[in-house]
Amino acid sequence: MAKFKVVLMKHGYDSVEAERNIVVEAGGEFVDADLLSNDEMWRQCAEADAILIRWYPITPELIKQFRRCRIMIRYGIGFDNIDVKAATEAGIIVGHIPAYCVDEVSTHTIALLLACVRKVVATHNKIQRGGWDANPIERMHRMAGRTLGLVGLGKLGQAAARKMSGWGLTIIASDPYLDPARAETLGVTLVDLPTLCRESDYISLHVPLLTETHHLISRRELELVKPGAILVNTARGPVLDAEALLWALDKQKIARAGLDVFEGEPLAANSPLRTHPHVVLSDHVAWYSEESLLELKRTAAEEAVRVCRGELPLAIANPDVLHKLGRFAEWKPGDAVKWQLKRAEMLKGK
């Protein structure tokens, strides 16, 4: 008889053999809900010790049905499709995978930035239409000597800073939870968000979607930017107010934007962002490589097994739940979650 049950909710992956093998080898039962009706999926979740979640929105009503669940694990860095407060109240750990695609997302960030700076997509489209300009009509400027502003200097922001460190840029960042000494080792100067908006030629977003980061970049912040600034978002769509961005593009406060994430996904067919001449788009694919996908799937399964064995996960989105579980004294948080603890402490002090 299996020692524990792990249910992977409807997901759409081509294969879940990596997860299945890890769970079964540890003595657990693995249930792939893609093969089940919705009613049977809910029945299995009610009996599960661990639940793996990709896209499905997890509401307080659903959480009440997860009677045996010890941990819900979100396939990804973000966990905004899970009601974390309700999970905490129910004594369920919310896990996520904060480091699986750091290389991919930071590289994609730079790709979008370069596409905007060098107008790669617009030039490509012009040539496909038969055009050719010996003297480009649209002005371009040298990157060296400019200022890159990173909104958020966690793992992804730090990776971007390291990769851009040899480009002759001044790199600044806004992150209230980061030790200034860490920023200094990266050659990054910490500033507040208004200062970053005023001083940056290029702004790149690297914060999780939380209550306090929803529309963190809104019209108020965009009114501060230099005319002709470039903005890149590979974080979460709602961190950036899309209406404010369109205003800034039309007013030429923002010269170009590179976007991988959007407030509503998939991006609406009639969204003006789809056809805006100064926007470069990708379809929330910054996370992807074959290697990162396998790492994501394996890590999610390993975290489920870890908790089902009575251990604590490597990353946890709701550290307060450990007080409820009476196990906080045993827990030694790693770098992946220290920012969450610091954030919780700061919010309690407000």
**Residues catalogued as catalytic:** 236, 265, 284
Backbone angles phi, psi at 305, to 5 degrees: -65, -40
* Helices and strands in the chain: count of H runs, count of E runs: 14, 12
Instruction: Bin 317: left if φ > 0, else alpha if -120 < ψ < 50, else beta.
Output: alpha
CB 197 within 8 A of CB 225: yes
Strand ranges in the chain using DSSP code E only, listed in sequence order: 5-8, 29-32, 50-53, 71-74, 93-95, 147-151, 170-174, 189-190, 202-205, 229-233, 254-259, 279-281
The three-point CA angle 197-202-207 to 5° equals: 70
Q: What is the largest CA-CA distance in the chain?
A: 73
